[in-house]
Amino acid sequence: MIKQKITNCLWFDSEALEAAKYYVSIFKNSKILQITHYDEASSKVSGQKKGSILTVLFILDGQKFMALNGGPIFKFNEAMSLMVDCKDQKEVDYYWKKLSSGGEVVECGWLKDKYGVSWQVVPTELNKLISSKNKVKSERAMQAMIKMKKLDINIIKKAYNQK
């Protein structure tokens, strides 16, 4: 088991297992670890059906997550997102395609998946370009990035290196 002090808990209406299986299918080194069910006491408190899935503990590429079926009380929003650090454009394209399928593309590398979870699919190199000490170059990179939905690191690098 992964020793991890902090674990993200994602609140779903009733799709915790479905979402966990979906995410595990996308990321390497991933698996479902444990599924718990509502018992008599937790069912009474929550209003959820006894025996239905309460939580799903799972790992995505070595990072532990908890999915909770808590009902329709809370919804995901962009105030919390999961960022996928991509080594190259091929990875950006892969995760963008998988995670945006059935969801909504937003801007600047952000998307919402089909469950409403917000993701940022970002090339590792981006931060170096937009935080460069050369303010003119970093501003050009930022200007290129903010016009995009799915990020294209080659276009951003071209803008950065422009003369």
Separation of alpha carbons 119 and 110, rounded Å: 6
83: containing domain: 76-163
> How many CB atoms sit inside 10 A of residue 143's CB?
12
Domain identity same for 114 and 151 = yes
Digit-coded pLDDT (tens) for 23-58:
999 999 999 999 999 999 999 988 899 999 999 999
Digit-coded pLDDT (tens) for 85-132:
999 999 999 999 999 999 999 999 999 999 999 999 999 999 999 999
Confidence category of residue 2, pLDDT binned at 50, 70, 90: low
Domain identity same for 21 and 69 = yes
Domain identity same for 67 and 118 = no
Report how far apart, in Å, the C-alpha atoms of 5 and of each of 40, 49, 86, 122 are. 29, 31, 24, 25
| Cross-sheet strand order for the sheet of 104-105 | 81-86, 118-123, 110-112, 104-105
| Residues 16 and 37 sit within 8 Å (Cβ to Cβ) | no
Separation of alpha carbons 1 and 20, rounded Å: 17
Domain identity same for 70 and 94 = no
Domain identity same for 36 and 104 = no
Output the pTM of the full model: 0.92
Domain identity same for 18 and 91 = no
Separation of alpha carbons 13 and 49, rounded Å: 13
| Residues 111 and 99 sit within 8 Å (Cβ to Cβ) | yes
What are the beta bridge partners of residue 35? 56
Chain mean position to CA 100: 10
